[in-house]
Amino acid sequence: MYRIDPGRTDLAEEFRRNPFGPHSAELQKVLNVMRWEPIEGKYVLVNTVPHKEWCLAQLPGKRGVPVTLHEDVVFTDLGEAEWYIFRLRWKKHTGVDPDQASQ
Amino acid sequence: MRRLLGYADRISVKPGETINFKVSSEDEGTFHLDILRIRCGDDTPAGPGLKETPVEARVNGDYPARFQKTQVGSYVSIDHPRKLAPESFTLQAMVWPTLLEKEEQTIIGSWHAGSRQGYALGVINGRLTLTIGDGSRIETLVSSAGMHERHWYFVAATFDSTTGEAALIQEPLVRYAGDADSARTARSMGIRPGTGGKFIIAGHNGNDGVSGLFNGKIDTPAVTGRVLERGQMEHLLDRRIPPEIAADVVALWDFSREMNGVTAHDISPNRLHGAIVNMPTRAMKGWNHDGSEMVWTHRPEHYGAIHFHDDDLYDCAWETDATWQVPADCPSGSFAAFLTQDDQWFYIPFYVRPPTGRPGARLALLIATCSYYAYVNNHMEIGWGDMGEHSGNAFSVIDMTDIHLHMHPEHGLSMYDNHSDGSGVAYASRLRPFLRMGPRDDVWQYNADTHITDWLEERGIAFDVITDDDLDAEGVALLEPYACVMTTTHPEYTTTGMMQALLHYQQRGGRFIYMGGNGFYWRVALHPTLPGVMEMRRAEDGMRSWIASPGEYVMSFNGELGGLWRRNGMSPESICGTGFAAQGFNFSRPYTRTPASEDPRAAWIFEGIGRDERIGDFGSVFGGAAGSEIDSIDPLEGTPPHALVIAEATDFGVDFHWVNEEFLHTHSAVNGENCPHVRCDMVFYETPNGGAVFSTSSIAFAGSLAHNGYDNNVSRLLSNVVFRFLDPELIPPP
């Protein structure tokens, strides 16, 4: 199984610049790993104001149990919001926040 | 969260007919209703904008708001409480439980939770139980052994009113080493059961409707008015009533009878037939299914199980709040009843079709209502998990509608969802509020299709609106008055009657425009008598959100094999020349013309478009005209030999995925970067008697029509096709 290399901040940077793709083959490998996320606790985005505002949230994994909204983490740009999710999942797999690692 | 919701009793209505609107509000006061004509519902920043026109209608006005309750979950209700309240009894059934973690589920009984009386054979916290109550005290006998999910068990409870002796029998059909899920449990009860409430299978009388809803299969349930020997119970399982117990058998229900009906047939002399509520799944393999026959119509006695779910829903059964009689001169089109109350709003979409045999235009737009039914109220964004992200090529983005559906089981599920026990949803109903179908919602199905009505109105092209429901009911006669029939963007689900009507229309010289992608893919059935409910089985192949169990591929409504049309002898290629090839949801591609586009048979389609122009390298659906879900030709699947691929889109990249029914072995060369089958073919071919077919083969196509004020090469190309197809001059054969 492919393991995300925390040193490949170039791939994180590629995602930040172009979150919706198409992505390079190497970045696609990273994304494939990240997308195998279990539903319970998964970080997702909630479009709270149609076409204008997205809020960080976590899924409960069971129908009827409320979705947890992190109302202090709100975005007005969907690309920035996707980048935030990317950072969270990158950190989960590597232990490092790619935003800080690249600075 | 939505507090104002509604639905209509009809989806398609003729001038002069009436449509009833049923509304529920969680707020007091009044709601306002306006009839709107819908031209475009896409209010996204990239789209053409919301375009709706108020219609002067008598029904417009204020109405008292009220909350209307919905009973969700399926069960069988039997209205003979006295006969079904014997003093001593044996309750028995074969069961296949599917959600043992649920706290309380009733298999069969008269239990009335509010008055604490009656009796019930059930499953509480995963254990088989017999509960009896006399109105004040409740006693429960609990099986000493647990059960396995998705395993068959013979279960029975006996009660002797003379001695108070109660017993539970739990016998697995398949025995494993250790025999840990088999039990006989007995004890003496200190009370005698009261009359209870309604007799119910797969639930009990709750404080507010039926609760304790069972998840799983129940087969051949029976009630006998005395304590039976184990051997005597076996006779009933075989649906036989031997003479020595005949006088005491109260009811023996055979669920293999009348598979598409809503009656649970009691084959005992008492004929205590039950009403099957909320469409549990029928034609399910029973306990005695042995693989000797995989088609229920060939051996229905092996299909005596009903699979009940606590989230099944057929009809919300709300009262009518407002009725509109459509004026006799009302032009055909897309309409909605628009409800408002304070900050709440809700659309109830419907269609006014022309009167039978009196078309109002030469062009008919065939609204893919069956495909709408398959998608409405879907829980995909939250429920699909990794499949959604892998398929959609993005991290999950959900909206407030997703969250509302997630928290409101009373709106039911879609055919893309799994029930709470994990089994697939095989039925979809329109007798409930539609979320995910209406203006201002996702640009998918209904809302994406308004790109077509928007363009037709912009270009001043007169059109009638007809629906899948109309076509299924009336066949080719509905299409015959039209010079041209045009589909919407994603007519994925069709009935046999619809497919035959479209084929016959084409053979008779009708012109056909396929405006979508992944069309004519799944075979479905509309119920022959019950209004507004559709069935499908996600059988053996295809791009599926769930998979039907082998032996359960055949639909209960009509005995037809469900699944992909390409596995049912009528591939999409035979209707529109192309079939589903690939999908990807983050960018689209333009078409480029092929040498065949210069063939005089088709060159007129490109009038005003340069030979090397990229067609549709713009658009509101991922930025191009070829994308989302795309189709390609396949002569082996029925693309006519003379079909011309007049334009093609390729180079879709790694995020577009080849459909799984196309490849035999799994391997890694299945995406747009490395698989030549990930492509989109625009196709033209002539049909007999001066007809023709034109196929865009792309869901995204219609999203490009409005670009640059409708002045673009996608719009020009479609205009060329539409105006030629409406021209009475015969299209010559090749």
A31 found inside a domain = yes
Set of chain A residues whose Cβ sits within 8 Å of the Cβ of B398: 44-47, 57, 67
A1 found inside a domain = no
A42 found inside a domain = yes
What is the structure's pLDDT at B453?
A: 98
Tell me the pLDDT tens digit for each residue of A7-18: 999 999 999 999
Is A32 part of the contact surface with chain B (CB cutoff 8 Å)? yes
- How many folded domains does chain A comprise? 1
A51 found inside a domain = yes
**Residue A67: closest C-alpha in chain B:** B403
The distance of A61 to chain B (nearest Cα, Å) reads 8
Set of chain A residues whose Cβ sits within 8 Å of the Cβ of B400: 46-48
What is the structure's pLDDT at B80?
A: 79
**Residue B674: closest C-alpha in chain A:** A25
Set of chain B residues whose Cβ sits within 8 Å of the Cβ of A37: 385-386, 389
A23 found inside a domain = yes
Phi-psi group of B405: left, alpha or beta (phi > 0 → left; psi -120 to 50 → alpha; rest → beta): alpha
The distance of A9 to chain B (nearest Cα, Å) reads 19
pLDDT confidence band for A102 (50 / 70 / 90): low
What is the structure's pLDDT at B392?
A: 85
Q: Which residue has the higher pLDDT, B383 or A54?
A: A54
Burial label for B357, CB within 10 Å (0-12, 13-18, 19+), is: exposed
Set of chain A residues whose Cβ sits within 8 Å of the Cβ of B653: 21-22
The distance of A1 to chain B (nearest Cα, Å) reads 14
User: Is-contact B277 B70, C-beta < 8 A?
Assistant: no
The distance of A10 to chain B (nearest Cα, Å) reads 19
User: Is-contact B284 B290, C-beta < 8 A?
Assistant: no
Nearest to B395 among A28, A39, A85 (CB): A85
Q: Which residues have a Cβ under 8 Å from the Cβ of B177 and sit 6 or more positions away?
A: none
A102 found inside a domain = no
φ, ψ of residue B130 to 5 degrees: the values are -115, 125
Alpha helices, H only, B176-241: 230-237
Query: Does B385 contact A39 at a Cβ distance shorter than 8 Å?
Result: yes
Is A86 part of the contact surface with chain B (CB cutoff 8 Å)? yes
Tell me the pLDDT tens digit for each residue of B594-618: 999 999 999 999 999 999 999 999 9
Angstrom distance (rounded) from CA B282 to CA B599: 52
**Residue A39: closest C-alpha in chain B:** B385
Angstrom distance (rounded) from CA B702 to CA B624: 10
Query: Does B389 contact A59 at a Cβ distance shorter than 8 Å?
Result: no
A20 found inside a domain = yes
CA–chain centroid gap for B636, Å, is 30
User: Is-contact B686 B733, C-beta < 8 A?
Assistant: yes
What was the ipTM of the complex prediction?
0.95
Set of chain A residues whose Cβ sits within 8 Å of the Cβ of B411: none
Is A45 part of the contact surface with chain B (CB cutoff 8 Å)? yes
Set of chain A residues whose Cβ sits within 8 Å of the Cβ of B403: 46, 67
Instruction: Kindly give the parts of chain B with pLDDT less than 70.
Output: none
Residue of B102, B396, B423 to mutate, testing the A interface (most A Cβ within 10 Å of its Cβ): B396
Least Cα distance to B143 among B118, B115, B164, B172 occurs for B172
List of domains in chain B: 75-308 (2.60.120.200), 467-520+571-725 (3.40.50), 530-565 (no CATH)
Give the bridge partners for B465, in sequence order. B365
Residue of B310, B395, B400 to mutate, testing the A interface (most A Cβ within 10 Å of its Cβ): B395
User: Is-contact B142 B201, C-beta < 8 A?
Assistant: no
A61 found inside a domain = yes
Domain that holds residue A80: 9-97
Least Cα distance to B587 among A20, A78, A29, A23 occurs for A20
What is the structure's pLDDT at B178?
A: 85
Is A36 part of the contact surface with chain B (CB cutoff 8 Å)? yes
Cα–Cα distances (Å) from B224 to A62, B83, B117, B202, B694, in that order, read 39, 10, 19, 18, 64
